């Protein structure tokens, strides 16, 4: 069959690379894609939010399966549009993607179904939120309800800071309509782990664990970003923790969504914090993580199309999901100044080092081909350099070695991705 992938980042490049390995696939299209994805797929100049044009394209090309990588189109209801046109599509419908699209919804769901998460209150009135802060304990966490490019979370140490946060989220609308409503929740401490899973509406199969590094600078300093690197598996995610989460978090979430009349088919990404009182949910996402996908998918042994079709057809219980018993590390090469201000358009050298090199991947996030057909930087996060290794230490060495193969002006990266591994 021919496959269409919707999205344009490193995550979609990793998905495309997995799809390319499937024996069931002839041709891959990606809308809108990027220069790296263009090496294994035909990029189509249609935006991820142009649902009608995407559906018309899928019909015209007789696409057998569309895979939606990004949160915005999922939360906006792209899956419903495709289904109404009789097209096969992988991802949650709008009424299920709300699990990511509204933090207030997801917190209420967890409370109703006793799924462990931070204590919280939802607010749709700024004055009530401000009054609540007078009696709260600090630090405290403020979250814009809706999608905010991963930036809608503020950790506030004092009442003044928190009041300022309410002001900017709910009144100044720093994150737009995402801040019409907000969650104020208890501050938790512990290790963070990302667990991605395939879900078919009733059955859930979790993938190998991963950990993201969200801050821009070494030592988890600097601003929050889309993610500066990842490693997989997380050494802190033990079989005991997994057993607890399967029983108290993963299956209960799927069952809760079904009970609410919102059966979830697609990917649920569980952002967990391993607290002293056990694992708790920080957030849900309704899609692969970026850059978690870049370390998880290369380690998956199954044919991704078979797994996704099983999710759509409600027979995920028949799939034996398998991961390699190795490790992977992804180091993001960014443009200096990201996430605030950075230049674009610099030529990228050294990409050829990754060709036919088993266990090494260079996933493109923000790149394009210039008028001379040369790869140039075209975003804050430019490339995700990923390497596998027998264990995390080896994978980390391999990944950092591979970062040296690539050169471009203003190249910036963190040097401590996976450093948690070395602390052990
Ligand atoms: P989220 O987008 O909800 O994952 O939040 C982004 C980041 O903020 C998380 O990865 C955590 O590092 C941090 N965070 C979110 N909620 C909490 C919380 N309740 N306590 C401590 N840190 C949090
Ligand atoms: N890496 C975190 C995310 O994709 O939201």
Contact 216, 197 (CB under 8 A): no
Contact 34, 70 (CB under 8 A): no
Closest CA to 164 of 146, 185, 140: 140
Q: Which atom of ligand 2 is nearest to 292's Cα?
A: 1
Q: How confident is the model at residue 424 (pLDDT cuts 50, 70, 90)?
A: low
292 has a pLDDT exceeding 80: yes
Query: Exposure of 352 by Cβ count < 10 A (0-12 exposed, 13-18 middle, 19+ buried)?
Result: exposed
CA distances from 424 to 189, 235, 389 (A): 19, 9, 17
Report the alpha-carbon angle 418-281-390, nearest 5. 25
Condensed to tens digits (0 to 9), the pLDDT of residues 204-256 reads 999 999 999 999 999 999 988 989 999 999 999 999 999 999 999 999 999 99
- 282 CA distance to ligand 1 middle (Å): 6
Smallest CA separation from ligand 2 atom 3, residue:
289
pTM of structure:
0.97
Ligand nearest to the CA of 155: 1
Which pLDDT belongs to residue 149?
A: 78
At 221, is the secondary structure helix, strand, or coil?
strand
CB atoms within 10 A of CB 23: 7
Q: Which atom of ligand 1 is nearest to 271's Cα?
A: 4
Q: What secondary structure does DSSP assign to 301-318, as a single string?
A: -S-HHHHHHHHHHT-GGG
- 153 CA distance to ligand 1 middle (Å): 7
19 has a pLDDT exceeding 80: yes
Give yes or no for residue 289 CB within 6 A of ligand 2.
Answer: yes
Report the C-alpha gap between 212 and 398 in whole angstroms. Answer: 18
Closest CA to 264 of 279, 278, 250: 250
Condensed to tens digits (0 to 9), the pLDDT of residues 259-285 reads 999 999 999 999 999 999 999 999 999
Give yes or no for residue 10 CB within 6 A of ligand 2.
Answer: no
Q: Whose structure tokens read 């995407």?
A: 54
Closest CA to 362 of 374, 353, 375: 353
Report the C-alpha gap between 54 and 410 in whole angstroms. Answer: 35
Condensed to tens digits (0 to 9), the pLDDT of residues 342-369 reads 999 999 999 999 999 999 999 999 999 9
Report the C-alpha gap between 195 and 208 in whole angstroms. Answer: 7
- 272 CA distance to ligand 1 middle (Å): 9
Condensed to tens digits (0 to 9), the pLDDT of residues 119-178 reads 999 999 999 999 999 999 999 999 999 998 777 899 999 999 999 999 999 999 999 999
Which of 180-184, 386-390, 407-411, 417-421 is predicted with the least confidence, judged by mean pLDDT? 417-421
Smallest CA separation from ligand 1 atom 8, residue:
153
Which pLDDT belongs to residue 326?
A: 98
Give yes or no for residue 212 CB within 6 A of ligand 2.
Answer: yes
The mean per-residue pLDDT over the stretch 20-34 comes to: 98
Contact 25, 311 (CB under 8 A): no
């Amino acid at each position: 069959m021919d496959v269409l992938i919707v999205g344009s980042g490193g995550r979609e490049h990793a998905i495309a690379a997995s799809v390319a390995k499937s024996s069931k696939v002839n041709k891959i299209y990606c809308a809108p894609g990027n220069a790296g994805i263009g090496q294994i797929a035909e990029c189509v100049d249609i935006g991820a939010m142009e649902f009608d044009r995407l559906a018309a394209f899928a019909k015209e090309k007789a696409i057998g399966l569309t895979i939606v990588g990004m949160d915005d189109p999922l939360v906006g209801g792209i899956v419903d549009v495709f289904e109404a046109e009789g097209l096969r599509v992988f991802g949650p419908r709008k009424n299920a993607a709300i699990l990511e699209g509204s933090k207030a919804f997801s917190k209420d769901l967890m409370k109703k179904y006793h799924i462990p998460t931070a204590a919280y209150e939802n607010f749709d009135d700024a004055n009530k939120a401000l009054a609540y802060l007078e009696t709260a304990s600090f630090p405290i966490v403020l979250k814009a309800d809706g999608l905010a490019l991963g930036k809608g979370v503020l950790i506030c140490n004092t009442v003044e800071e928190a009041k300022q946060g309410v002001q900017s989220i709910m009144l100044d609308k720093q994150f737009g309509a995402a801040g019409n409503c907000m969650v104020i929740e208890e501050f938790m401490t512990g290790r963070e782990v990302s667990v991605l899973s395939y879900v078919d509406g009733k059955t859930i199969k979790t993938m190998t664990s991963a950990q993201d590094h969200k801050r821009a600078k070494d030592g988890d300093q600097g601003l929050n970003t889309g993610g500066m690197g990842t490693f997989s598996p997380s050494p802190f995610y033990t079989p005991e923790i997994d057993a607890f989460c399967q029983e108290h978090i993963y299956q209960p979430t799927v069952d809760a969504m079904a009970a609410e009349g919102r059966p979830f088919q697609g990917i649920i990404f569980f952002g967990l914090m391993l607290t002293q009182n056990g694992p708790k949910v920080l957030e849900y996402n309704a899609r692969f993580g970026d850059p978690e996908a870049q370390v998880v998918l290369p380690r998956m042994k199954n044919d991704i199309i078979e797994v996704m079709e099983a999710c759509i057809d409600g027979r995920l219980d028949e799939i034996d999901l398998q991961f390699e018993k190795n490790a992977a590390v992804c180091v993001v090469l960014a443009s200096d100044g990201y996430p605030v201000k950075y230049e674009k358009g610099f030529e990228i050298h050294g990409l050829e080092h990754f060709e036919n090199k088993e266990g090494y991947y260079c996933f493109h996030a923000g790149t394009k081909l210039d008028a001379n057909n040369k790869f140039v930087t075209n975003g804050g996060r430019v490339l995700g350099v990923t390497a596998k290794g027998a264990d995390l230490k080896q994978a980390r060495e391999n990944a950092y070695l591979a970062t040296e193969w690539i050169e471009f002006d203003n190249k910036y990266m963190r040097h401590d991705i996976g450093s948690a591994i070395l602390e052990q």
